[in-house]
Structure 1
Amino acid sequence: MKWRWQILGFLMICLTGWSGPVDAQSDLVSAGRNFAEMACSPCHVVSDRYKVPILRNPGPSFAEIAARTSTTGDSLRTYLRSTHRDMGQSGRMPNPRLLDFEIDEVVAYILSLREH
Structure 2
Amino acid sequence: MAEETEGPVKRTRVVAVRLTEQEHAAWSAAAAEAGSGRLGTWVRTTMAGLLNGHRATPARPGPPPEVAALRAELARVGNNLNQAVRAANVSGLDRVSSAELVARVDAAEAVMGQIREALRS
Per the normalisation by structure 2, the TM-score is 0.31
More helix by share: 2
- Asked which structure has the greater RCO (Cα within 8 Å, sep 6+), the reply is 1
